[in-house]
Structure 1
Amino acid sequence: MKKLTIILSLIILNSLISYSQNLKKDSRPNILFIMSDDHSYNAISAYNNHLIKTPNIDRIASEGMLFTNACVTNSICAPSRATILTGKHTHINGKIDNHMPFDTTQVTFPQLFQKAGYETAMFGKLHFGNSPKGVDDFMILPAQGDYINPDFITKKGDTTITGYVTDIITDLTINWLEKKRSKEKPFMMMYLHKAPHRPWWPSPEKFKEFSRKTFPEPATLFDDYKNRGTAAKTAEMNLLKHMTYSHDSKIRPETLADMEKVEPSIIEIKNGFYGPYGRANDEQRAKYEPILDSINDYFKANWPSMSDEEKMRWKYQRYMQDYLACISSVDDNIGRVLDYLEESGLAENTIVVYTSDQGFYIGEHGWFDKRFIYNESFKTPLMIRWPNIIKEGSTNNEMVQNLDFAQTFLEAAQIKAPDDMQGESLIPLLTGNNKKWTRDAVYYHYYEYPSVHMVKRHYGIVTKEYKLVHFYYDIDEWELYDRKKDPQEMNNVYNDSNYANLVKKLKMKLGKLRTKYKDSKELDQKYIEITK
């Protein structure tokens, strides 16, 4: 009897120890959300390797799932981030453009993670608000932030860190993962890069490397927009006519002053060159100056005699050299974080997401920037790795949006999503249950007009096959693109009689989507009035 009592006692003790250990260790997955700013999917080799190789970003795709039809609800920085945080369209969360205030009563998904026992952190670029909600620890850039010796907002006040912003954000991220987080809790980390946002200042090493490279031109670099509407013809984002010499192409103001006349005449951004570059210390300047000398000497000697076509090509190369150099640093640093996850044993139970806040024009249609519903700005890179859940090397072409991120993360973490979120969890797609995915169209709405780049207000519906767009405010124009026959979106077929029945169907479907997402003509007018 005594022996039996001892055995039972040992069984109970082991059960209690096991139960205690399970209480201490939360087995829910960690989430590492990596986002860059203005990263074109055409500048990621997992999508297209004609410009740059991004082996570390590609690792996430090769070890997880690559989405080929991921897109945004509103292609501009702060509104996109507000949509990601809330799982709601911008007309609901209030952040319709970069100027309108975010509705701070909105619940963000980090708050829900924090409440559910996750440890949360955010390092890098938030873009709006100085005190992110729902994060236990943060160091964020004020507004757009700086590439060189950036300032950071922290819970303890502002601080400046010497170095290159992409390296620093990564240092902060790895330091938190290694030394600051609780080892007993799962984590939700937002690792947010400033790069490759304009103005593109690479690290000195990448600046030297990439300034010697030449890149292939996009087929539509010299687009004349003849088969498009007013919006494409009047947008102010042409490389030749609107990309500035100092702020963008690294021509010193002194160089321009020494030249009699520089055509085309472009209004320079105040402190556009020395605002960012003035932050460099003497040691950093010593590394930048030889490359800047080379660029400026060439420009001064050759620009006056160049044809417009030659000038366009020169500007494109200068743009790509700096833009892609910034991306190369992002890729290197993502590799550092992925390596840390592997070495620390965290990789096995960590969902890793890579995306951008939207797409970006890198010379397609002669443009830079974003804003349009057209593919290059509407589509965004998205890849997700989740060991033992997502099949390695898989690809998905369903219509998914940044609207869906919050609900996806919440479901993965076994946290109930609020009923007023408007996205759909991607878990069925991640686990191979594509039949459970019922969405066949997405809704888009852009508001920031009149404003920089002068892209007109528009909303639209996009399916895998077609894109129907309504431009409004100071015009009333419709456009329709056949995405299969015309992937570069060069021909508006809205008035083509062969598409007449399709237009009717898509308009009806667009109306249903506007109702579903609680958008309307009345709301359009409200935002017109309050943004005048």
Structure 2
Amino acid sequence: MTKTSRYCFILLLILLGFHLYASDVNRKGQPNILIVIADDCTHSDLSLYGGQNVKTPHIDQLASQGMTFNNAFVTMSMCVPCRAELYTGLQPVNSGVCWNHAIARTGTQSIVQYLGELNYRVGIAGKVHADPREVYPFEMVEGVERNCVSETANYDPAGLKEFMARDKEQPFCLITALVVPHIPWTVGDPSHFNPEELKLPSYLADNKETRREFAKYLAEIEVLDQQVGETIALLDELKISDNTIVIFTSEQGAQLPFCKWTNWNNGVHTGFIVRWPGKVNSGSRTDALVQYNDVLPTLLDALGNTSDTDFDGSSFLPVLLGEKETHREYAYFMHNNVPEGPAYPIRSVTDGNYHYIRNLSPKSLYIERHLMARMPLNQYWPSWVFDASDDPEILDLVTRYQNRPAEELYNLTADPNEMQNLIGRDDLGEIKQNLSQKLDEWMKAQGDPGAEIDSREELKNARQGKHFDPLILQN
């Protein structure tokens, strides 16, 4: 055998060994991963979190088989930033996705690269909302509507099934990103709901238009639940349920006032369930505080990857395994209003009990153009403005939404809809001061300069990949 032939033979043995190792890892139980994401679904509208208007039997069944998180949050209640956070383990300033429709910093790694290094196939079906391609090189899986503002929510499980079943020797991670209940609320059957009998949450104006539109939104949650059920049923059909980690999350709040595009609880709070047979106790609930940037580190930890990666988040695997009852001490939030309207930067922090909000431009009028001006998609807001002339309760809601104080403080246990601002309470001064200090520390650690970043120029640069330098802005 020549020297060259010997090298080729050795190389072949190495490659064969790697293939056998990878296959053996999966045969020994390297779990598949299925992540199912709703689109703009307020967590408190799900029966799992106390919602009284719509039944979600498939989501409830999943919860009965896994662990439900009572205190899971996104850092920004907008589609692109929160998905970037979920996929990268980074908070907005570090990923560069500090605005809706911004792109991640060049060189950022995502779940695709991290799991790819562990021999996983990583695909996405449905809504993507993650750029650039080099950061998120997902395999595009067919079968789920990708356009979140389509008047349909097409769903065909055949493409999902093909991806799951393609290679039994190699584990997969499939993100199924559904487009319900994102507006326009045009799918499902609103006749299932009597608008006059709906129990509207306290942050919504109680008038005919709101009740009619809320029924349409609930009809989309019914479709969401059905699609969640069909997706998870594929695991049983393929007989891989026992070796698949399933995550369901409701994303940020709905496109309603006091929800999406805000730092209020119903904007940043997300529904979150994890099922992992044999590892996570069925029907369990936890009050542990977690955020989207904790999810990727947790998955890597669950797969035995102990590499020192510089995530903003950290693994809550001990919570899943029942070894700990707590995770984070604080969760942090930010909002930059451009391009959804004029600049209106917000930052906030919670310890799970109290939520401190700082509006960085309190003298400005808050305007969100999609919610307030895009008729016929949002017919309820004009009705609020019209009815405010004669209804003081509706006038108060319109005023609260657009004219905000410099600081807000809420007791999330007693007032989850955050209707009573406690910022002036003397007996809560110490709590307010502590949360304010923690927020300052977080912004400094992130390199977040505050109001200066919420500008069209910064967003324009970010869309072109010319991300700001936090150190320059801090100085």
Question: What per-residue deviation string (whole Å, max 9, x for no partner) do you get for residues 148-176 of structure 1?
Answer: 3xxxxxxxxxxxxxxx42x23x4421232
Could you tell me whether the CA contact under 8 Å between 2:353 and 2:411 is conserved in 1?
yes
Q: Secondary structure at the match of 2:334?
A: strand
199, 204, 226: which one aligns with 1:332: 226
Q: 1:524 to 1:109 in 2, by over 3 A?
A: farther
Give the residue type in structure 1 aligned to 2:168. K
Match of 2:11 in 1: none
Tell me how far 1:210 sits from its aligned partner: 3.1
Counterpart residue identity of residue 333, structure 1: Q
Q: 1:101 to 1:48 in 2, by over 3 A?
A: same
- Structure 1: how far apart are the matches of 2:322 and 2:286? 9
Aligned to 2:150: 146
Aligned mate of 1:173, from 139, 147, 160: 160
Query: Structure 1 79/328 Cα, relative in aligned 2: closer, same or farther at 3 Å?
Result: same
Q: Which residue of 2 aligns with 1:486?
A: 415
Q: How far apart, CA to CA, are the structure 2 residues paired with 1:95 and 1:44?
A: 28
**Where in structure 2 are the equivalents of 1:160-199 lying within 5 Å?**
164-165=153-154, 167-168=155-156, 170-178=157-165, 181-199=166-184
- For the 8 Å contact 1:407–1:417, the answer to whether it is kept is no
Q: Deviations over 1:196-234 (max 9, x none)?
A: 1111110xxx336436665423252566xxxxxxxxxxx
Amino acid at match of 1:491: Q
1:448 partner letter? N
- Structure 2 equivalent of residue 32 of structure 1: 34
Determine if contact 1:87/1:407 at 8 Å carries over to the other structure: yes
Match status 1:472 vs 2:360: yes
Question: Larger deviation: 378-387 or 402-411?
Answer: 402-411
Partner of residue 387, structure 1 = 277
Letter in 2 for 1:216: L
- Counterpart CA distance in 2 for 1:88 and 1:21 is 31
CA distance in structure 2 between the aligned counterparts of 1:201 and 1:21, rounded to whole angstroms: 45
Q: What is the aligned partner in structure 2 of residue 502 from structure 1?
A: 431
**SS of structure 2 residue aligned to 1:326:** helix
- 1:463-490 Cα offsets, whole Å, 9 max, x none, are 1221111101364711111223433312
1:530 alignment counterpart: 458
| Gap change, CA 1:107 and 1:497, over 3 Å in 2 | same
**Gap change, CA 1:524 and 1:92, over 3 Å in 2:** farther
The residue type equivalent to 1:105 in the other structure is G
| CA apart distance, 1:108 | 0.3
Distance 2:302 2:132 in 1: 28
Larger radius of gyration: 1
Q: Return the alpha-carbon distance in structure 1 between the equivalents of residues 96 and 343 of structure 2.
A: 20
Within-5 A mapping of 1:3-402: 22=24, 25=27, 27-129=29-131, 131=133, 133-139=136-142, 144=148, 146-148=150-152, 164-165=153-154, 167-168=155-156, 170-178=157-165, 181-202=166-187, 206-207=188-189, 209-210=191-192, 215-221=197-203, 313-360=207-254, 367=257, 369-402=259-292
1:460 and 1:317 mapped to 2: Cα distance?
31
Deviation (angstroms), 1:424: 1.4
Kept in 2: contact 1:41–1:359 (CA 8 A): yes
Cα distance change on mapping 1:26 and 1:145 into 2, 3 Å: farther
When residues 443 and 28 of structure 1 are mapped into structure 2, their CA distance, relative to the original with a 3 A threshold, is same
Whole-angstrom CA distance in 2 between matches of 1:376 and 1:46: 15
AA aligned to 2:452 is: Q
Deviations 1:416-455 (A, max 9, x none): 45522100112011001115x4521111111124734x68
Specify the SS of the correspondent of 1:434.
Answer: coil
Q: Distance in 1 between matches of 2:22 and 2:199?
A: 61
Q: Is the 8 A contact 1:468 1:481 kept in 2?
A: yes
SS in 1 for 2:266: helix
When residues 369 and 199 of structure 1 are mapped into structure 2, their CA distance, relative to the original with a 3 A threshold, is: farther
**Distance in 2 (alpha carbons) for counterparts of 1:199 and 1:430:** 36
CA distance 1:104–1:356, shift in 2 (3 Å): farther
Aligned-pair Cα RMSD in Å: 2.7
Tell whether the 8 Å contact from 2:40 to 2:180 is kept in structure 1 after alignment: yes
Measured against aligned partners, the alpha-carbon deviations of 1:96-115 in whole angstroms (never above 9, x if no partner) come to: 11143332421001211112
Q: CA deviation at 1:359?
A: 2.2
Q: How far apart, CA to CA, are the structure 2 residues paired with 1:146 and 1:219? A: 27
Partner Cα distance (1:39, 1:98) in 2: 17
Q: CA offset at residue 337 of structure 1?
A: 2.3
Aligned equivalents of 2:423, 2:337: Cα separation in 1: 24
Q: Which blocks of at least 5 consecutive residues in structure 1 are unaligned?
A: 1-17, 149-163, 224-311
Residues matched between the structures, number: 397
The answer for the alignment partner of 2:301 in structure 1 is 411
Unaligned runs of 5+ in 2: 1-19, 364-404, 461-475
Partners in 1 of 2:171 and 2:28 — Cα distance? 6
Q: Distance in 1 between matches of 2:223 and 2:286?
A: 27
C-alpha distance in 2 between matches for 1:49 and 1:100 = 33
2:447 corresponds, among 515, 519, 529, to 519
- One-letter amino acid matched to 1:84: L
| CA positional deviation for 1:526 | 4.1
Amino acid at match of 1:349: N
What's the TM-score once normalised by structure 1's chain length? 0.69
Q: Using a 3 Å threshold, how does the CA distance of structure 1 residues 458 and 25 change in structure 2: closer, same or farther?
A: same
Q: Which residue of 2 aligns with 1:447?
A: 336
Normalising by structure 2, we get a TM-score of: 0.76
Change (3 A) 1:417 1:423: farther
Instruction: Judge conservation of contact 1:71–1:380 (CA < 8 Å) in 2.
Output: yes
Change (3 A) 1:23 1:368: closer
Shift of 1:391: 0.6
Alpha-carbon offset, residue 502 of structure 1: 2.5
**Structure 1 residue 325, shift from structure 2 partner:** 1.5
State the 1:505 CA deviation.
2.1
Higher RCO, 1 or 2 (CA under 8 Å, sep at least 6)?
A: 1
State the secondary structure of the residue aligned to 2:249: strand
SS across alignment from 1:397: strand
